[in-house]
Chain A
Amino acid sequence: MAFECSLEMTPQGIAKITLSGELDASVAQEFRDKVDEAASQKAKRLVLLMAGLEYMASAGLRSLIFAKQKMGTGVDIYVVAAQEPILDTLTMTGFQHSVILMDTYDAATIEQL
């Protein structure tokens, strides 16, 4: 399935990027562009909504590191509703340390600024 990714900024400054399809090297730049955009708008949180993401190649995972660097250490990154294989890969490769994993969007936690 084709990769799609969109950015929404909430009034409180939470950047939500919705990802779907297959995130591999050929499209990783699209995702990084959205991260760039979120960073330039001084987002206080970065939320990656991944329910529709079916596959994430290493380029996609590396983009999480990119996001971490781009947003700065003070900005938490939430990975929400990642599918099982992606979650598995995140855990096996140690990438889960760079982000906060969530099964569902937990407004109480994320939006408490």
Chain B
Amino acid sequence: MSVAERIDIYPTHEYEGFKLRPGRPLPFGASVVPGGVNFSIFSSHATVCTLVLFEKGAPAPLAEIPFPDEFRIGNVFSMIVFGLDYENTEYGFRMDGPFAPEQGHRFDKTKILMDPYAKAIGGRDVWGDTPDWNRVYPHRATLVYDDFDWQADRQLETPIEDLVIYEMHVRSFTQHPSSGVRNPGTFAGLREKIPYLKDLGINCVELMPVYEFDEFENSRPNPATGEMLMNYWGYSTVGFFAPKSGFAATGRLGMQVDEFKTLVKDLHRNGIEVILDVVFNHTAEGNENGPTISFRGLDNKTYYMLTPEGYYFNFSGTGNTLNCNHPVVRNMVLDCLRYWAAEYHIDGFRFDLAAILGRDQNGAPLTNPPLLEALAHDPILAKCKLIAEAWDAGGLYQVGSFPAYGRWAEWNGKYRDAIRRFIKGDEGLVGEVGQRLQGSPDLYAFRGPTASINFITCHDGFTLNDLVSYNDKHNEANGEDNRDGANDNNSWNCGWEGPTDDPGINALRTRQMKNAAAMLMVSQGVPMILMGDEVARTQLGNNNAYCHDNELNWFDWILLEKNADLLRFFKNMIGFRHAHPALRNRWHFSNRDYVGSGYADITWHGVAAWNVDWSDGSRVLAFMLCGKHAKNGTARDNYIYVALNMFWDALPFELPRLPLGMRWNMSVNTSMPSPEDIHEPGHEAPLNDQNHVLVGGRSVVILVGK
């Protein structure tokens, strides 16, 4: 039987030679339909909407097509335009409506507005190319193809407790000349370095913003040096649906979508998940003095949280706050994340200043924020990791109390603070460190340790090297007289501020970095490493390097050789975590024996076995994991004993007895020089004295019982 071919979509209207038809209101944005392109845009207060078409790169529009009245349904303007050249078309909108800031409206029909659903954005194709500031339409929505061949790829769905996350910046990773890649600073460059990531042993990269942003936002010369300071990190979104063109070597061809997908596919092929750092708390439009790029001109009152006088609430510390719990905005966030998950196979998201996502339209914290609930229960995002930075710049601090709906994990800021202070030798922390090492059950009693993303360093604040090399921040290069950046760094310079030739200080610093790596990798929860910490990357004491497109941020690949010992330690410590399921439990310890091994799942020790000094003056803690309780009793592992001596002198630790026939073996001893500091997993050194181990001052010892 032959089926007659249907022609449903055919032109019904014409305007200056363009053939048109009333569009489909959903999906929003531009989508290719048979013979044409469907444009759909929302505004609840605009009176007139015009589609503006450009030939790629042209300074002036090719055409302006007003949406006929009958093409609007509700508050959505939609139109199909036939016969467009997909390759060469850029589009935007003009919106007419009231300019009445006191009522929240800032319509300006002289501006051409970018589609908030733009899937690719042209106009800033190459990173750092100085823009033509007089352009009528600088960030240009373009059309994308959905023809990418993913072959057998899909989200990896690695259990979150098995992840070792590596937080990184796409450009920083390979922009340094020492990277040796063909296309430095790009997705393609990162892809060339996948073997390094794989060798390091991480199985998840968390990419700092890769959405289209404007590196020239608030760019200014450093008053002292004249060097250009930029919006380098990119925490200020221009387009939520579009990968940053300037991060793609093929951006000038408009192929950033393909290049980024190819990167994701290759990372997946190497067993590495991809988490995106998403910034839904504000946009690049700033406050009332900022540029009008998109939202402000489309529907200011809907998209932004406004004061009763019509000014912008500033919970983000950057000028404006996205009105995330307005139903329309909420849907945009949801659409956006679904798009990245479905179209780019992204494995998870880390939400910048996520506490904002739990505020209502007037900024008050909600007990049951609909956006967070919707994300947690979304069918398409069901296997994605959802990670909150559970605070904002407006003073809402929700570590331990972020509305989780059984899904959300958090950057555990309390882990960072406690471990930092413990490592530097502060008193009174043994009790808290005990909580942090076992996945913070005090914070996540019902959510389990996987709610805790454990980290000691991240892009905000000192690098690990700087944490042990500086007492104070040194942010002069940011051009704000060292006023910016956090002051509560919990850092210790080990006796000299900044770089030194003193071998004793340098040895202590290396040991402290190893102590940090060891604690992070034996903690229950999900460890996150900051890019370059494994080779002692320095920002010269700058703890807020957001504005530097230079060596302060770039990964110096020469450090791989220079700090080969530390790199080896990190590699083997990550390997140790992967080798031992006892370190990767989904649920909290029960402090009892539920498998009949004769040992509780976790037991606590001190210099005397079975006897912890929890007092304020103590800087010593040890614990043992029973291998028969690994993965909550579902896996078999060795017994693991970890002794943390953050006191300055060496101390003998009495060892708990193992089951008959088992012996303790030395795996890690950070007080020893490389390669005795760590043995490859499976190649531990048998211990002569099975009753005691001497743990050096400010050192970590890890034993494996087998």
User: What residues of chain A have their CB less than 8 Å away from a CB belonging to chain B?
Assistant: 25, 28, 57-59, 61-62, 65, 88-89, 92-95, 97-98
Contact = CB atoms under 8 A, between A and B. Distances in A.
B50 interface: no
A25 B88 contact: yes
B259 A59 contact: no
Contacts of A89: 250, 253, 255
B254 A58 contact: yes
Contacts of A58: 87, 250, 253-255
A98 B151 CA distance: 10
Contacts of B147: 62, 65
Most buried by B among A57, A62, A92, A98: A92
Interface residues of B, number: 24
Given A25-B88, A59-B87, A88-B182, A93 B149 contact: no
B550 interface: no
A93 B85 CA distance: 21
Given A58-B253, A62-B147, A88-B182, A94 B258 contact: yes
Nearest to B147: A65
Interface in B176-197: 182-183, 187-188, 191
Contacts of B275: none
Contacts of B262: 92-94
A28 to B, nearest CB: 7
Given A92-B191, A92-B248, 7 more contacts: A25-B87, A57-B87, A92-B255, A93-B250, A94-B149, A94-B259, A94-B261
B249 interface: yes
Contacts of B188: 92
B302 to A, nearest CB: 34
18 contacts: A25-B87, A25-B88, A58-B87, A58-B250, A58-B254, A62-B147, A88-B182, A92-B187, A92-B191, A92-B248, A92-B258, A92-B259, A92-B262, A93-B258, A94-B149, A94-B259, A94-B262, A94-B265
Nearest to B187: A92
Query: What does DSSP make chain A's interface, helix, strand, loop or mixed?
Result: helix
B253 A57 contact: yes
B53 to A, nearest CB: 15
B148 interface: yes
Query: What does DSSP make chain B's interface, helix, strand, loop or mixed?
Result: loop
A13 B334 CA distance: 51
Nearest to B188: A92
Most buried by B among A28, A58, A59: A58
A90 to B, nearest CB: 10
B18 interface: no
Interface in B381-399: none
Contacts of A94: 148-149, 258-259, 261-262, 265
A89 B675 CA distance: 42
B250 A92 contact: yes
A98 B145 CA distance: 16
Most buried by B among A65, A88, A93: A93
B253 A25 contact: no
B255 A61 contact: yes
Nearest to A56: B253
A61 B253 CA distance: 10
A19 B265 CA distance: 30
B183 A92 contact: yes
Interface string B140-155: 0000010111010000
A68 B180 CA distance: 34
A81 to B, nearest CB: 20
A25 B87 CA distance: 7
Interface string B254-293: 1100110110010000000000000000000000000000
A62 B249 contact: no
Contacts of B265: 94
9 smallest CB-CB distances across A and B, nearest first, come from A93-B258, A94-B262, A25-B87, A92-B188, A59-B87, A58-B253, A65-B147, A93-B255, A58-B255
B266 to A, nearest CB: 9
Interface in B148-179: 148-149, 151
Contacts of A59: 87
B254 A92 contact: no
A88 B186 CA distance: 13
Contacts of B88: 25
B151 A93 contact: no
A94 B257 CA distance: 11
B147 to A, nearest CB: 5
A84 to B, nearest CB: 10
Interface in B41-93: 85, 87-88
A106 B148 CA distance: 28
